[in-house]
Amino acid sequence: MRICSIITSFTSGGAEMLVRDLAERFAATGHDATVIALSDAAQIGNDRETEAAMMAHIREAGGQALSLGLANRNAWIGGARALRGMARAMNPDVIHCHTARALPIVALARPRVPVVLTHHNSRLSFPPAAFHLFNRIADGYVAISEQCETMLRAHSRKPVQLIWNAANPRFRASEPRQPVAHDPMILAVGTVSEQKDYPTLIRAARLLAAALAPQGRRPRICIAGGGPMLGELQALVEASGAGSHVELLGARGDVDMLMRRADLFVNSSLWEGFPISLIEAASSGLPMVATRVAGNREMVVPGMNGELVPPGDAQALASAMAAILSDDASHARLSAGALESAGRFSIERCATAHLALYGRLRGNRSGHRAYGRLSIDRECA
């Protein structure tokens, strides 16, 4: 099968990591995998080194990594021209959009193959009325969590399939963690954005340091993630005096190694879809402290593999981290629970589910779909 996946850009976000890993798995099982970005990293303020590394990874695995090079991701006509030319060369059997921005571009390019949309969040980034358009373009939707499934079913008029996110096999640990380090490392992973609410984590860092100080311990919270707001977050760290407890690592390609060094994983998000970073942490045997929001609640089971706290509550976040880091027996139990819970989120299972969906949609779809009023100039054809 020839599979074309479309993302916003080659960056270190969870959706992009999943698409990269799926492309690698598709290629390993004999399928042609192409990943197309709407924009180059530099055009939208993302890290060029991360982009180069991701594209190289896909190509080394046997897939293709391309970009439409859109300075404006809403440039539908120009995007359709570029996509139409690429589609002629790759002749895909299915097009899977991992960003809703790609759907109008795909529609104008007029493919004669099934189109799938995954919305990688429990919140909509567009008005619900947009589904009137999306339902005319997409043959099916993929939900990455139960909350996402509920949301999509409320708006879509096409089949919705729940396919859980997955982590790359390189994160898998063979056994639970050793006792917590005297000066523990706490890791957070994700693009620096409003959604991740790192300011609350920075406030919690000082509270955590105060809680562990009587034990003579100095915790260090490391945040791995890039994005246009990274400079603003660095300024906040410096202004709040949290620099001795918080380190901003920027976009990283060695998150698996960082997780091996860490003692605890933390997620401070205000909302989520289903964070791949939590699956990676669980696969690494890391106990987790996360906010009690959709997506996180489906991965973190209090007392089994981590703890959940209210979003935006720095004191609760610090207290939960301090409790786990101060109790080796609890830490070991949660580490074992994390490994157990990670078992059902394998990339092999995720890829198999996607391939089965593509096969069904290809079987159900016959002929060329008309997009009504959506059309493209002849010079684009």
**For residue 301, what are the domain limits?**
170-342
Based on the fold, state whether residues 204 and 323 are members of the same structural domain: yes
**pLDDT at position 253, please?**
86
**pLDDT at position 174, please?**
92
147 within 8 A of 294, measured Cβ to Cβ: yes
Based on the fold, state whether residues 185 and 129 are members of the same structural domain: no
Based on the fold, state whether residues 319 and 360 are members of the same structural domain: no
pLDDT along the chain (381 residues), means of 10: 96 91 97 97 88 96 96 89 94 97 95 94 90 96 94 94 94 93 97 95 97 98 92 95 95 93 98 94 98 95 98 98 97 97 93 97 65 34 28
Based on the fold, state whether residues 207 and 320 are members of the same structural domain: yes
**pLDDT at position 376, please?**
35
CA 72, CA 53: separation in Å to the nearest integer? 23
Based on the fold, state whether residues 355 and 283 are members of the same structural domain: no
Residue 100 amino acid letter: A
Based on the fold, state whether residues 161 and 256 are members of the same structural domain: no
Based on the fold, state whether residues 162 and 179 are members of the same structural domain: no
CATH number at residue 248: 3.40.50.2000
Based on the fold, state whether residues 98 and 175 are members of the same structural domain: no
Q: Which residues pair with 162 in a beta bridge?
A: 143
Q: How many domains does the chain have?
A: 2
**pLDDT at position 365, please?**
67
Edge to edge, the sheet with strand 306-309 lists 246-250, 220-224, 185-189, 264-267, 288-291, 306-309
Based on the fold, state whether residues 154 and 192 are members of the same structural domain: no
Based on the fold, state whether residues 92 and 129 are members of the same structural domain: yes
Query: What are the residues whose beta carbons fall under 8 Å from the beta carbon of 150, sequence distance 6 or more?
Result: none
**pLDDT at position 13, please?**
85
Based on the fold, state whether residues 354 and 337 are members of the same structural domain: no
Whole-prediction pTM value?
0.86
Based on the fold, state whether residues 73 and 216 are members of the same structural domain: no
